[in-house]
Each structure stands twice: as structure tokens, then as C-alpha cells.
């Protein structure tokens, strides 16, 4: 979006201005630099040497930082330290370090850092970013009631029904695969299950709101992405002050976020008043709230939980499936091998169901490799340390921001040989059975692991096997019949997904074409 790009350009120039040309601000911040406790003589973990006053301000990458941090790891090891104006940052490049700290020491590694742009933009409603507290527990507990592992099978009919809508869309207008994936599938599933809303248009206002609100927050929260995250006191300066144009961006985003939450929530409330509300999460929660004496405070909790269920799922699910489509076009031999397995287990001309999952090890390996090959969340959401800690002889101060570098973990050559190659067989033993490496790193670690992971797992798996069983995916061809190469550049940001590309998506044969044309919803 042009507005956000202009904001980013002005932000970068303001970053330089404030960091270099406004010494009075630097001196003020220098007085706030966090220091190690006098009792600790241990060093920080290794990392680039900080400069006087500003620390590693000019070392923190603003573009594709996960790649830079992976390169740092070759010099400094799998845990690295940086600091900017006294804010300590710990980068974790290995599963071992993430497990040791974020899971085994979850009691002090489950907080969230206070990132000014999150509250300025109104995204602090999300329990994903709420500090570790009773407020977080209340929302997480409520969300868990509807998205825990044993509840998800009840949603399978909705998932399969929306997958059939996706298949119809791919048959009729395959060039619009990205739009179909978002509207017919990802957004449609969440709107149906959470709000009882039947999505029928690609231009639906609910979808547009979420898309823009998520895009804005993903481009403004990582270290180095926005000057106010580095210099939090700037939030108190007026928007006309040099470098403070972020205020306008933040207010516009807040308005979007408010409408994103309110519009579908009010849709359910209106339908309940009319007696036309369909069964859904919000309706059930509001009815329960009324039964126990209607509370506006509890209603706000319900609205927040529903809002994050919607916002968090749509873009991540869509991005993962776009990666799948891209990688199948790039690796037709993988697609063919998966199709052979599907034909043998399910039968040509039949759609797979969840009951077939355990009998499809190669398809399961494809599913795992899609998540590993290009993690659409290159960083798990940052953690924060709630107390001083010592790890492998290094001092980690209270308040340190911890960045789990999922991209580096998924491309760790000691775990995944030739990591840039898409190779599902890395998840199979010599006998063709699945190995024990079943962790989806992008779901995060410890007590802050993705609460919606079971729904995401089911949706992505069922979509992958359904599309493979019905369609061939290949590179597009130009007017001369020459294949158009797919360059796999990915969008920068908290969610990293492929930039637009062309491919051919065609029914595997006439039997499949007729199957899709005639199929009915389950």
C-alpha cells in the first residue's frame, strides 16, 4: 500500500535523524540504559560490538532480518545478544536453545515485550501479544475451549465443505488461486466457525479489513522496523515532530482494527436479536454470558478472543497454502509421488478425508516440508524475560526481548541437509515410515505456542491432500510454449509469503473434472 510505503520511507529517514542528529534525545535515552546488576560478573551472549550510547542501533537489520541473524549465527553461535538504547535483544537460532529457554524455563520466558506500535495501533487486544498475566490467561483459556485438539474434529465438516468451494474455484478460474485460497477457504472457515457468517464475495468488507490491519501490524513491529519501538518515549511527542509521522499511521491502523473486531461481532449480535444467528463460537459465548447475567466486560473479552481467532488464522493459513502451490509447481516429481500414494490409498476419483491421514505418510511428509521449507512466520512472536537468568555461562537480564529465529532453525544444516531444497523424504525413514520430527516450528514454543495450531494443522493438511488428489500444478507457459520460471521472492515482514507468481492448475483428468463439477457439500 502506497500510504504504508511512504510511512516506511519517512520512518527510515527519521530513524537516522533521531539517532544521529538529535544528541539531546540520545543523551536522555542514555540515562535510561539498563545495566547489569552489580552482583553479576558474567558476560552477555556473543554478538556484534555495541557502539557508545546507541548500542547496536545500526546493526539491527530492517529487511529480512531472519537471514542476517542466521548469518550472525555462523560467527557468534546459536544464541546472540544485541542491545539498542539499553533494550537487550536475544536471538535464538537453534531448536536446542529455544527448547532450553522457552520451554524448560517457561516460568520466566513467557512474557511479551512491550512494543509501542502494538498498543498505538490497537493490536494490544490480542492475547497473542498481551503480557503474561491473568488477562492473558483468561483470554487464552476461553480460546482454548473452542480450538483445543479434541474439539477440532467437530469442525471437520466445515473444513471439508470450504475445501470443496476452493476446488470449484480452482476449476473455474485457476489463475485466481491466491484469491480462492484466502476467500473460499481460510477466511470462509474462520468466519463460518467463529461468527456463523457465510462468505460469498471476494470483495467482502470483513476480509478486506483484516487483510489491511494485519499487513500494517506485520510491517511495524520487528526490531528496527519503526523508530518508536527503538525510542519508546517518542510516543509522547506530537505527530509534527521530526520522525513522529508514525502517529498518523498508528491512528489509521487503530481505526481499522476497531472495525475489524466490531463489524463481524455486531453482525452476530444483530442476528441474535433477529433470531437468525447461525451456530458459531460467538453466539454460544454470548448466550452463555446472558445466562450468567450479561456483562459488558465479559462481552469485550469475547469480542477480543473472536477477533484474534479471525485475524491470526486467515493470513497465516493463506500464506502457507500459497507456499504449497508454489513448491508443487517447482517440484512436479514430489506432487506426482504424493498423487500416486493418494490414488493407492483413497482411489482415483475420490476425495481424501481425515480418516485417511495415518495411511498417507508421504503426503504427511509433504505437509511437514511445506512448513519447514519457507516458514511464513520467520520469527515466532517475541518473548520477554521476566527475571534475570544465566544460560551456558552468559547473563540474560530481566526485560530482554527474545526472538526465536524460526527460519534459521528450519534451515539448520546440522538438522536438515541441503535446507533450501524441498525434500519431503527428510521426514521419512528408510522404510518409508514417518520419523519422529513432527514439530511445526512456526507454531512457536512453550506457554506462548500458537493456540490455534490444531485448527491450522487440520485445515492445511486437508487442503494439501484434496488439491493434490484433484489437480496437477505446473509452471505457466508463455505464448511460445516456453515455461515461465517462478522466482520465489518473499514479502518482507512478520508474515513472509510469496510475491505473486503464475502457474497452471488443471484437473488431473476428465473424471476429476466431473467429480468437482458434480460434488455436493458434506
324: left (phi over 0), alpha (psi -120 to 50) or beta: alpha
Would you mind telling me the total number of residues written for the chain in this entry? Answer: 522
The β-bridge relationship of strands 383-384 and 471-475 is unpaired
Beta bridge partners of 402: 90, 383
Cα separation, 144 vs 129, in Å, equals 16
Cα separation, 499 vs 516, in Å, equals 28
Q: Where are the alpha helices (DSSP H) in 46-94?
A: 65-76
If DSSP codes are grouped into helix, strand and coil, which group holds residue 212?
helix
400: left (phi over 0), alpha (psi -120 to 50) or beta: beta
The β-bridge relationship of strands 401-404 and 383-384 is antiparallel
Instruction: List Cβ<8 Å contacts ≥24 apart for 97-101.
Output: 97/391, 98/380, 98/404, 98/409, 98/445, 99/445, 100/391, 101/389, 101/391, 101/402
DSSP code per residue over 151-179: TGGGGHHHHHHHHHHHHHHHHH-GGGHHH
If DSSP codes are grouped into helix, strand and coil, which group holds residue 123?
helix
Judge whether 367 and 456 are in contact, CB under 8 Å: no
**Residue 226 labeled ligand binder:** no
If DSSP codes are grouped into helix, strand and coil, which group holds residue 163?
helix
Cα separation, 104 vs 250, in Å, equals 36
**Cell match 501490524: residue?**
217
**Cell match 520469527: residue?**
379
φ, ψ of residue 111 in degrees (nearest 5): -80, 170
Cα separation, 207 vs 198, in Å, equals 12
Annotated binding site for heme: 450
Annotated binding site: 450
Amino acid at each position: 500500500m502506497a500510504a504504508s510505503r511512504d510511512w516506511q520511507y519517512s520512518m527510515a529517514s527519521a530513524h537516522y535523524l533521531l539517532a544521529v542528529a538529535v544528541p539531546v534525545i540520545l543523551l536522555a535515552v542514555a540515562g535510561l540504559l539498563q545495566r547489569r546488576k552489580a552482583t553479576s560478573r558474567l558476560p552477555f551472549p556473543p554478538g556484534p560490538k555495541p557502539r557508545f550510547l546507541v548500542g547496536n542501533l545500526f546493526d539491527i537489520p530492517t529487511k529480512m532480518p531472519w537471514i542476517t541473524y542466521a548469518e550472525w549465527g555462523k560467527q557468534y553461535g546459536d544464541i546472540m545478544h544485541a542491545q539498542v538504547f539499553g533494550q537487550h535483544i536475544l536471538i535464538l537460532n537453534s531448536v536446542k536453545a529455544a527448547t532450553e529457554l522457552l520451554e524448560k524455563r517457561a516460568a520466566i520466558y513467557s512474557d511479551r515485550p512491550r512494543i509501542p506500535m502494538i498498543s498505538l495501533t490497537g493490536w494490544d487486544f490480542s492475547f497473542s501479544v498481551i503480557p503474561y498475566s491473568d488477562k492473558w490467561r483468561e483470554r487464552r483459556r476461553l480460546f482454548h475451549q473452542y480450538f483445543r485438539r479434541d474439539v477440532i474434529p467437530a469442525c471437520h465438516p466445515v473444513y471439508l465443505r470450504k475445501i470443496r468451494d476452493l476446488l470449484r474455484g480452482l476449476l473455474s478460474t485457476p489463475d485466481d488461486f491466491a484469491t480462492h485460497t484466502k476467500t473460499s477457504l481460510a477466511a470462509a472457515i474462520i468466519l463460518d466457525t467463529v461468527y456463523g457468517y457465510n462468505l460469498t464475495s471476494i470483495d467482502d468488507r470483513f476480509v478486506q479489513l483484516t487483510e489491511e490491519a494485519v499487513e500494517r501490524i506485520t510491517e511495524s513491529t520487528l526490531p528496527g522496523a519503526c523508530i518508536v519501538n527503538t525510542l519508546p518515549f517518542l510516543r509522547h511527542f506530537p505527530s509534527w515532530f521530526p520522525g513522529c509521522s508514525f502517529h498518523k499511521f498508528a491512528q489509521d491502523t487503530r481505526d481499522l482494527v476497531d472495525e475489524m473486531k466490531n463489524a463481524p461481532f455486531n453482525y452476530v449480535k444483530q442476528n441474535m436479536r433477529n433470531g437468525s444467528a447461525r451456530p458459531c463460537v460467538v453466539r454460544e459465548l454470548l448466550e452463555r454470558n446472558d445466562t450468567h447475567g450479561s456483562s459488558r466486560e465479559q462481552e469485550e473479552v469475547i469480542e477480543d478472543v473472536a477477533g484474534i481467532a479471525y485475524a491470526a488464522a486467515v493470513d497465516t493459513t493463506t500464506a502457507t497454502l500459497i507456499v504449497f502451490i508454489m513448491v508443487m509447481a517447482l517440484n512436479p516429481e514430489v506432487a506426482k509421488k504424493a498423487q500416486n500414494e493418494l490414488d493407492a490409498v483413497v482411489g482415483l476419483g475420490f476425495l481424501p478425508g481425515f480418516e485417511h491421514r495415518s495411511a498417507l505418510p508421504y503426503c504427511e511428509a509433504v505437509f511437514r516440508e511445506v512448513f519447514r521449507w519457507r516458514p511464513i512466520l520467520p520469527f515466532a512472536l517475541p518473548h520477554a524475560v521476566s527475571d534475570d537468568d544465566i544460560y551456558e555461562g552468559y547473563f540474560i537480564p530481566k526485560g530482554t526481548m527474545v526472538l526465536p529465529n524460526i527460519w534459521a532453525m528450519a534451515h539448520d544444516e546440522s538438522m536438515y541437509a541441503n535446507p533450501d531444497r524441498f525434500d519431503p523424504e527428510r521426514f521419512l525413514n528408510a522404510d518409508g515410515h514417518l520419523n519422529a520430527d513432527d514439530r511445526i516450528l512456526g507454531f512457536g514454543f512453550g506457554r506462548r505456542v500458537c493456540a490455534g495450531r490444531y485448527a491450522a494443522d487440520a485445515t492445511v493438511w486437508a487442503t494439501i491432500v484434496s488439491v493434490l488428489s484433484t489437480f496437477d500444478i505446473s509452471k505457466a507457459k508463455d505464448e511460445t510454449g516456453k515455461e515461465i520460471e517462478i522466482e520465489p521472492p518473499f514479502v518482507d515482514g512478520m508474515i513472509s509469503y510469496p510475491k505473486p507468481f503464475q502457474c497452471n492448475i488443471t484437473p488431473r483428468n476428465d473424471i476429476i473434472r466431473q467429480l468437482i463439477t458434480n460434488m455436493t457439500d458434506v
